[in-house]
Amino acid sequence: MSDSLLSGLNPEQLEAVTLPHQSALILAGAGSGKTRVLTTRIAWLIQSGRARPLNLLAVTFTNKAAREMLTRITSMLPINPRGMWIGTFHGLCNRLLRAHYRDAGLPQSFQILDSADQLSAVKRLMKRLNIDDEKFPARQLLYFINGNKDAGLRASRIEASDDISRRMTEFYSAYDEQCNREGVVDFAELLLRSYELLASNASLRDHYRNRFSHILVDEFQDTSSLQYQWLKLLAGRDSAVFAVGDDDQSIYAFRGANVSNMQSFERDFAIGKVIKLEQNYRSHGAILDAANALISQNRGRLGKNLWTAEGRGEPLRLYQAASDFEEARFIVDEIQNLRRDGVGLSDIALVYRSNAQSRVLEHALFNAALPYRVYGGLRFFERQEIKHALAYLRLIANPDDDNALLRVINFPPRGIGARSLEQLNDAAAAGKVSLWQAAARESGIGNIGGRGSGIGSRGCGKVNKGLAAFVGLIEGMRSACAGLPLPEIIDHVIETSGLKTHYQNDREGADRLENLGELVNAATSFVREAGDVEDMLSSFLAHASLEAGEHQAGAGADALQLMTVHSAKGLEFHTVFISGLEEGLFPHENSALEPAGLEEERRLMYVALTRARRRLYLSFAQSRMLHGQTRYSYESRFLREIPEELMQKLLAPALSFNSGRFRSGRETSGSFALPGQSRMRAALSQPTAGSQWNIGQNVVHPKFGAGVIVNAEGRGSDARVQVSFYDAGVKWLALEYARLSAA
């Protein structure tokens, strides 16, 4: 009866699909066919008569994954899927609340607030309660509300330890009252309200426990604490929970994912045996061996070892560049070689830890006329924070730029509302002048900075303090930036405009701040490449516009895929480049100091490695631009955790690997020689003061171990060097007593 359904499954997959009525944990490694196992399990339960469609509940994390489940199931069985409960956590909670809106205390036609609507609701309430946005930014209040909801806490259960948390808790309570009054729920409320409904209504809870004899959970490692508690409420004594996940791919702690749920599930549901899907159908053996070696460094894993029947394949290609620009050029050269060898651009991914890293890569691709697409995000010069900064720069270059003015006149917020903008537009139209000149008049400052005529006698009769502050801000910037080098202009604008402070107060603003820092790097690079240009600022703005508008790949076009590691999860490519493998970058410096954070960074690296099917490049740079300054770095510890015999070192004639690690490995300039070798630059060789040591040189200390020289000062007996050690941090050492030796 089910032979065709089960054909092609390997022994472990078959065991998982045909388990008897019991709860089970399926530890599914990357590329091991977990989606096939999950959907085949559902089809087998229905086809064999062990469950009816209405007895099944299957939950996942994205609408795309839910649709794929339904498509696969209906392709295996001729059934109508409408009666099946298959969807995301939020989608299923919405369905439950719609069916029992009275019990949940909701109107029948309750509406759902998306993230933008929720922020607007928070701002409306702040205005009604006269809450100062400077002391309590709207986003901070929103994060406080959602964070507590995700933790299952209502305002009445929060223990406020200080005045700030007390006031935020009071706001949370008022926000709940406003939502109840208006008959709306936000995304976090869907899950919390659904959980509370099941927890407080025993008859309803028993009804669903009796109905859902089989509960199947996809990507179990990504569940939050509240989601796990919701599942436990739905699972009755006779329910079989089929949880599929991979603790080694748990990379969403910042969204509330709790990897320990997998071990809790094993204990709470008395799982006797964990079925491990370890046969990988995606990658060659060398890639899997590298991933296994890396992830084995994490503690507390459930444990598995990926393998493949596809053979060992090619070694990983490892490249050390002198700089981030050299790294980008190397990647472009390799892509062009791959293209000539018949590999499609869309089957090549450039993966990086931080969004800000894309800028250098995008610039190199732009110069090489290679089409690309930023997966799950925006190209560098199209990102919100970059466009805001560029708008301020455009106003410095030309204050009559109406588009630039409208973009930032109230960003960050400065109390200039829609009514003020309407009056400003009317004044500009009446006077036939730019918005800037109208703003100068309306602010009470007069006609300044513009190139057209004034607006005559028309005005609002009352000084608009917000407009006055904005006009004064721009004039102050123009004055302060006169004669400054381009990178310093941009740095000043980011600081003075309030953009830096605004994003510092945003819980999710870290990436945006990194991107703003990268804009300073872009300016530094532009100055170096542009040479002697009369108006450097205007030239840079034109350059930014050209890079934002060119080489955008159209839908369906063959284009390179650029993405962060987080965006890459669930995807696979023939060839993957992982760039920026330096300490402080990957692992990220914000996570590397805490054991839990470092382990998640290692899981991120594991995810990155296992995206590649056939060819994998790893690269890092000795120096990288950071906020307009050159930072000297050394290889990521993750590279040291991959066995050397799995990697092929790629060398340019003028670039040597100084460390003992690189000398001891297999090196080549033969079959894997670098393309474009004639363009390679020598390794960093800036001499330190009065010594034989070079900045960027790898060294060894008898106590602190291996490191790299990052700075130097003094001469003779006063000379000293600053060394960034792999394991001991950054230290200044007097050369006379340092006992350093070359690595």
Q: Are 501 and 450 in contact (CB under 8 A)?
A: no
Which of helix, strand or coil describes residue 712? Answer: strand
Alpha-carbon distance 205 to 96, whole Å?
A: 11
Which burial class, exposed, middle or buried, applies to 552 when counting CB atoms under 10 A from its CB (0-12, 13-18, 19+)? Answer: middle
In degrees and rounded to multiples of 5, residue 336 shows phi and psi of -65, -35
Dig out the tokens for 708 from the structure.
């790299």
> What is the distance between the alpha carbons of residues 736 and 743, in angstroms, rounded to a whole number?
18
What span, in angstroms and rounded, lies between the C-alpha atoms of 329 and 577?
13
DSSP assignments along 586-648, one per residue? TTBTTTTTSHHHHHHHHHHHHHHHTTEEEEEEEEEEEEEEETTEEEE--B-HHHHTS-GGGEE
Matching residue, tokens 């904005």: 470
Task: Give first-to-last CA distance, the chain, whole Å.
Answer: 66
**Pairing relationship of beta strands 741-742 and 698-701 according to DSSP bridges:** antiparallel
- Helix, strand, coil percentages for the chain (3-state, nearest 5): 50, 15, 35
- Report the 3 state secondary structure along 364-389: HHHHCCCCEEECCCCCHHHCHHHHHH
Nearest to 667 by CA among 682, 656, 654, 680: 656
Tokens of 83: 């009666």
CA 63/CA 412 separation, integer angstroms:
34
How many angstroms separate the CA atoms of 558 and 347, rounded?
Answer: 9
Burial of residue 559, with CB atoms counted within 10 A of its CB: 0-12 exposed, 13-18 middle, 19 or more buried:
buried
Which of the residues are catalytic? 34-35, 218-219, 249, 611
Coil, helix or strand at residue 231? helix
In three-state secondary structure terms, 257 is strand
Dihedral-angle region of residue 671 (phi above 0 means left; psi in -120 to 50 means alpha; beta otherwise): alpha
Residue 536: CA atoms inside 13 Å, Cβ hemisphere, count?
A: 21
Tokens at 710, concatenated: 């990052």
Distance (Å, whole) CA 409 – CA 471: 9
Interhelix angle 63-76/34-47, rounded to 10 degrees, is 50
Burial label for 99, CB within 10 Å (0-12, 13-18, 19+), is: exposed
Q: How far apart are CA 526 and CA 189, in angstroms?
A: 48
Separation between Cα atoms, residue 318 and residue 648, nearest integer Å: 6
Pick from 550, 507, 473, 497: nearest CA to 386: 497
Closest CA to 376 of 545, 239, 567: 567
